[in-house]
Amino acid sequence: MPATEPPPAPRPSAGAGLRVGLVGYGSAGRGIHAPLIERAGLTVAAVSTSNATRADEVRADLPHAEVVPDLETLLGVEGLDLVVLASPSGVHAEQAERVIEAGRPLVVDKPLAVEASQALDVVDLAVHHGVPLTVFNNRRFDPELAALRTVRDDALIGDIWRAEYRWDRWRPVPKQRWREQVPAEQGGGLLLDLQTHLVDQAVLLHGEVESVYAEVDARTTVAEDDTFLACRHTSGVVSHVMSSSVNGAPGPRARVSGSGGAYVIGRQFDDVSAFREFENQGNAVGWIVRGEERVPGPVVTDADQANFYRAVAAALTSSDPQATMPVDPRDAVHVLAVLDAARISARDGRVVEVVTPGQTP
């Protein structure tokens, strides 16, 4: 099953009047979800958090929102049109099942679960109860992905042979957060964090992953902080997908090679002077490079992560909410199947076939 691409952005008024219950108000809930929800025209009507400091932050940031201590209380709030899980990854599946059983439309921050079969159980439960479900793959709405899609669709570098996608950071002393402090089976580590975005992007651009070879290490944290995946896609493209918290010289964000040249996007995180020549120029994203020749890449003007929530709002007011959600949750099942195979590959030192639960062989 091919991955779904982001739909055209609905009108900004699409979310007018829709009330959202937000679970969690940490770096994801406060820093990402709440601002995007409000910018998209929806209203954060209730937030659940058991942390007193974060409860005070909710009251300061969102004085119109009701603050409740837990998910069960939030599910009892009247008039919620949507629940958003911005909680730690290890509890996503359990919480999602509870929300589905309560009959509330649901957005789950990536990853949907910590492994593919668990994610499929969530998807199947949503289908059984007829509850709309989608996954917060907000990076699908970035300028970079829009530019990469244009490079592919318009054959700006000819036939694509190989792609490299990476997010590197230099954090020899890890942050003191659950992402760095809990094992993978509880949702920690880069495979379930940044690699879910990167693999999702690679699948969108090049088709599903047939097999994977991986090198995965936990150098400074409990779960993985240094990861490399070589993915062979159904299209024949091979993607090298890398994410590390311990890379002192981060490489380009993306480098895609083809029969007519290469496309390069510079750094997203650390400002490394060696790659400044590849930074974005105005609305042009990246560079088309052919040896000594270099020209600006595609121009992107309408990419906005708030379009995810605008699309959710449009889906919820459509005749078929699930079919029109911005991310098919089965895409998330496939991404997790790739990561499951990557763990086996890293453990055994071999290429592993990707088997996605719920798909017909």
**pLDDT above 90 for 127:** yes
Say yes or no to pLDDT of 235 above 50. Answer: yes
Contact present, 66 and 45 (Cβ < 8 Å): yes
pLDDT in tens, 306-344: 999 999 999 999 999 999 999 999 999 999 999 999 999
Judgement on whether residues 154 and 290 belong to the same structural domain of the protein: yes
Q: Residue 14: pLDDT above 60?
A: no
- The answer to whether residue 354 sits within a structural domain is no
Which pLDDT belongs to residue 180? 87
**Residue 89, pLDDT above cutoff 90:** yes
Instruction: Count the domains in the chain.
Output: 2
For residues 153 and 57, membership in a common domain is answered with no
Cα angle vertex 297, ends 230, 137, to 5°? 50
- 360 in a structural domain: no
Q: Is the pLDDT of residue 297 over 90?
A: yes
Separation in Å, CA 262 to CA 64, 113, 258, 356: 49, 35, 6, 31
1 contacts: CB under 8 Å, gap ≥ 6:
208, 330, 334, 359
Do 132 and 253 share a structural domain?
no
Residue type, 256: V
Angle CA 80–27–252, to nearest 5: 120
> Is 6 part of a structural domain of the chain?
no
C-alpha count within 13 angstroms, C-beta hemisphere, residue 346? 18
Q: Is the same domain home to 24 and 73?
A: yes
Residue 320 and residue 307 in contact, taking contact as beta carbons nearer than 8 Å: no
pLDDT of residue 4: 54
> Are 126 and 132 spatial neighbours (Cβ–Cβ below 8 Å)?
yes
CATH number of residue 41's parent domain: 3.40.50.720
Kindly indicate the confidence band of residue 243, based on its pLDDT and cuts at 50, 70 and 90: very high
Does 129 share its domain with 148?
A: no
Q: Which pLDDT does position 179 carry in this prediction?
A: 84
Mean pLDDT throughout 67-94?
97
Residue 274: predicted pLDDT: 36
pLDDT recorded at residue 348: 98
Report if residue 340 sits inside a domain.
Answer: no
Same domain flag for 242 and 201: yes
Residue 29 lies in a domain: yes
Residues 247-275: what's their mean pLDDT?
Answer: 78
CATH number for position 239: 3.30.360.10
5, two tokens: 């691409």
The answer to whether residue 346 is domain-embedded is no
Asked if pLDDT for residue 268 goes beyond 50, the answer is no
Q: Is 128 left (phi over 0), alpha (psi -120 to 50) or beta?
A: alpha
Residues 166 and 113 in one domain: no
The string of pLDDT tens digits covering residues 269-280 is 443 333 344 444
Domain membership of residue 108 (yes or no) is: yes
pLDDT of residue 3: 58
For residue 320, the model assigns a pLDDT of 97
Per-residue pLDDT, 197: 97
Q: Average pLDDT for residues 149-164, to the nearest whole number?
A: 98
Within this chain, do residues 149 and 134 fall inside the same structural domain, yes or no?
A: no
The answer on 208 and 118 residing in a single domain is no
Task: Select from 64, 26, 61 the least CA-distant residue to 43.
Answer: 64
Percentage of residues of the chain with pLDDT beyond 70: 91
User: What secondary structure does DSSP assign to 19-54, as a single string?
Assistant: EEEEE--SHHIIIIIHHHHHHTT-EEEEEE---HHH
pLDDT for position 361:
65
- Name the helix (H) or strand (E) containing 164: strand 160-168
CA 192 to chain CA centroid, Å, is 10
Question: Would 335 be classed as within a structural domain?
Answer: no
For residue 52, count CB atoms less than 10 angstroms from its CB and return exposed for 0-12, middle for 13-18, buried for 19 or more. Answer: exposed
Mean pLDDT of the chain: 91
Mean pLDDT along residues 148-168: 97
At 177, the pLDDT band (50, 70, 90 cuts) reads confident
Q: What is the mean pLDDT of residues 134-161?
A: 97
What DSSP string describes 47-92?
EE---HHHHHHHHHH-TTSEEESSHHHHHTSTT--EEEE-S-GGGH
Do 37 and 125 share a domain, yes or no? Answer: yes
User: How far from chain centre, in Å, is Cα 235?
Assistant: 22
Report pTM.
0.91
- Residue 117 shares a structural domain with residue 195: no
Residues 130, 118, single domain; the answer is yes
Domain extent for 106: 12-139+306-321
